[in-house]
Structure 1
Amino acid sequence: MLALLTNWYKERFSDPQAVTLVFILLGIALAIYFAGGLLAPLIVALILAFLLEWPVAQMLKIGINRTTAASLVLVVFIGVMLLITLGLVPSIWKQGVALITDLPTMLDKGLLTAQTYVNQYPQFVSPEQLDSMVAELKKMLDTQHLLDIGKQILGYSASLLVLMVYAILVPLLVFFFLKDKDQLIKGSKRFIPTNRELARKVWFEMDQQIFNYIRGKVIEIVIIGVVSYLFFAIMDMRYAALLGVLTGFSVLIPYVGATLVTLPIALVAFFQWGFSPEFGYLMLGYGIIQALDGNLLVPLLFSDAVDLHPVFIIAAVLIFGGLWGVWGVFFAIPLASLVKAVINAWPTPNSLSDGASVDEQSAEKS
């Protein structure tokens, strides 16, 4: 057994470039896993700088220097974020509080409907079982309890210190990353082994794919969120802005997100209209939006993305989401594509032997 493992190690890690790639990937993963909280502003700034590099590069092509281009792009980006935050967040917050406040009323209406069906079909669910489920549900949906949880979450996630760090430090980091990109890259190469051709090959393969994925995902979130909000507003559905935002962000989790967000939409529609034509129209329109997203929008936006089987995508969402939370879910597909690119680029024993034979032949010719 030991000999088998030794031979496998020699075959797979005999190339110094492969060892370098492993150390680079392992170092990045360990740094993010163990120091992700401390490095969060730096990581956020790196991601934003990576996304904003494209408009900066376009300005460089028309003769604008990098410092001016970085300043203009950053100012426009901050302005757009402020408009979205000041215009959207208050409305979503109010609708979220209203939804939590209305949950007991919705529960009573649902209880009456469920009681009617239990009386009609007692062989499936007994009244005692229904009472037990309702008692547990009331504990979970207690208004004051939910409001207390919301205040705690708000207190942890929006403390003054965190807001100051992200509002001041992140824009500064993004600006310097954009302005001094070449100098920073040149300086960072001193900490990476010189034998890094395989790592460079993997990066070049993933660079454009990651950018296309993030850009496409942001566009998909905006389109699906806006279209869903407009549809909910036209239907005069309650909490239209909140549910539209949830629908937009549901595309972050492939296959699973649409299923999860369907439940609150269906429940709110049912409590508002009951089993009526309006309920049917809303669910039909929502289904059309999801169908157009999966069959038209996604192929258009991600035509250049790496083809991954749904099983690997779901596994990536579960693994990276469990490791890094929301960011892991958002970057699950790029990370899965990175794993695939590393596997494809990894030197095999055949390629090593072929390379050795080519070297021998060239030596003989010389």
Structure 2
Amino acid sequence: MNDKQRLWLLLVAVLIIALFLLLEPILTPFLVAGLLAYLGDPFADRLEARGMGRTVAVTLVFSALILLLITAVVLTIPLIGRQLDLLAHAIPQWLEQLQLTLIPWLQKTLELPQGSLPIAEFKTAISNNWVTAGSMLGQLWGKIAGSSLAMIAGLANLVLIPVVTFYLLRDWDTLMSHIRDLLPRSIEPTVVKLTNECDEIIGAFIRGQLLVMLALGILYSVGLGFVGLDLALILGLIAGLASIVPYMGFFVGIAAASVAAWFQFHELMPLIGVALVFAVGQLLEGMVLTPLLVGDRIGLHPVAVIFAIMAGGQLAGFSGILLALPAAAIIMVLLRHAHRSYKDSAVYTAKD
């Protein structure tokens, strides 16, 4: 590439980023639809390879995606709502138990004066905040429900996601082919090679890691349910979501579940049960789920995953979070390419 071509590519990249930041408030449904289409395209390609028409294959995959989403919402939302109510009532009780047991022990062990740990004030503040939060949510919902424009916009987004998903999924291969045809011929082979590397990493991570998170969330929820925890579903889902970063789901889940089990039972056996559930989950993740569903070619370091998600949320809100991991994977591939180019360059191989 000459300097003029590099300048044009830089200007195009800057323009795309500027448009993304300007249009970010309306991009969420399109990004969600793009993610769903990206996840569903390999399945549609497999059905198409077996002789099925593209539209029929896309219709089957699209119907399966919609059915899965509806089933997940119908099954989990009521249960999560009930467990959030349980959590709202449990937190003040937990704080009261801390005040009666842990606080005296800490004061005695650390030789702290009476009243130096104001747990009663913490309890009152948290209880008031729960009430205030509920009141604020009620007021917010009232305003949303009372605003026809807000309701219309929300419904439009909900309707827009499946519509855009269907059309993107149907025309995915055509869109990719058009984009490839627009590339300058001098850089087309390199861009295609890098794009294939990015697709391999992004596909492995997103498709595989989502399945791993889902499997662990179900495993943890069911296991904690057998232990008898009232908050099994919420704790299992939190641990499953945290599993987007290796080992984070295990540590976050076992810590939260152990605290909940202790306050609920005040016995050792439930704690052992919690430890067994997460030990089994960690073994399955390391020995079965991750090798089978994700593979070993991702190369995204856990710290890079955490930083990418936080940076995406800071820069572009929810849309940035959706794009964080794909962007991190693309940057990683480009850095690998730059590293190889540097190792082959005269700057690195030159001798004094």
TM-score by length of 1: 0.79
> Equivalent of 1:121, from 103, 109, 120?
109
- Where 1:45 maps in the other structure, the secondary structure is helix
> Equivalent of 1:79, from 67, 91, 111?
67
User: 1:160 is matched with which residue?
Assistant: 151
Q: Which amino acid aligns with 1:167?
A: L
Count of residues in correspondence between the two structures: 340
- Where 1:237 maps in the other structure, the secondary structure is coil
Alignment of 1:25-174 (within 5 A): 25-123=13-111, 125-131=112-118, 133-142=119-128, 143-151=130-138, 160-174=151-165
Given that 1:320 and 1:332 are in contact with CA atoms closer than 8 Å, whether structure 2 keeps it comes out as yes
User: 1:344 is matched with which residue?
Assistant: 336
User: 2:243 is matched with which residue?
Assistant: 251
Q: Which amino acid aligns with 1:171?
A: P
Q: 1:229 to 1:256 in 2, by over 3 A?
A: closer
User: 1:289 is matched with which residue?
Assistant: 281
1:103 deviation in Å? 1.8
Q: For 2:214 and 2:316, locate their aligned partners in 1 and report how far apart those are by CA, in whole Å.
A: 24
User: 1:361 is matched with which residue?
Assistant: none
Bigger CA drift: 283-292 or 103-112?
Answer: 283-292
Given that 1:66 and 1:179 are in contact with CA atoms closer than 8 Å, whether structure 2 keeps it comes out as yes
1:149 deviation in Å? 4.8
Aligned Cα RMSD in Å?
3.3
Q: For 2:106 and 2:212, locate their aligned partners in 1 and report how far apart those are by CA, in whole Å.
A: 42
Given that 1:252 and 1:330 are in contact with CA atoms closer than 8 Å, whether structure 2 keeps it comes out as no
TM-score by length of 2: 0.82
Given that 2:240 and 2:249 are in contact with CA atoms closer than 8 Å, whether structure 1 keeps it comes out as no
**Larger gyration radius, structure 1 or structure 2:** 1
Q: 1:192 to 1:253 in 2, by over 3 A?
A: same
Given that 1:17 and 1:195 are in contact with CA atoms closer than 8 Å, whether structure 2 keeps it comes out as no
1:326 deviation in Å? 5.3
Task: Encode CA deviations 1:193-250: one digit per residue, 9 max, x unaligned.
Answer: 5654243332121112211211111111111011101111111111212222112111
Given that 1:56 and 1:69 are in contact with CA atoms closer than 8 Å, whether structure 2 keeps it comes out as yes
Q: 1:250 to 1:195 in 2, by over 3 A?
A: same
1:20 deviation in Å? 5.8
Q: Which amino acid aligns with 1:239?
A: L
Alignment of 1:14-33 (within 5 A): 14=2, 22-23=10-11, 25-33=13-21
Given that 2:309 and 2:321 are in contact with CA atoms closer than 8 Å, whether structure 1 keeps it comes out as yes
1:116 deviation in Å? 3.2
User: 1:301 is matched with which residue?
Assistant: 293
- Where 1:112 maps in the other structure, the secondary structure is helix
Task: Encode CA deviations 1:69-128: one digit per residue, 9 max, x unaligned.
Answer: 1112111211121111111111111111221122212221222122331353242x4432
Task: Encode CA deviations 1:130-173: one digit per residue, 9 max, x unaligned.
Answer: 12x54135313433123235546767999633542233111111
User: 1:357 is matched with which residue?
Assistant: none
Unpaired stretches in structure 2, ≥5 consecutive residues: 348-352
> Equivalent of 2:214, from 218, 222, 225?
222
Q: Which amino acid aligns with 1:282?
A: V
Q: Which amino acid aligns with 2:22?
A: F
Unpaired stretches in structure 1, ≥5 consecutive residues: 1-12, 355-366
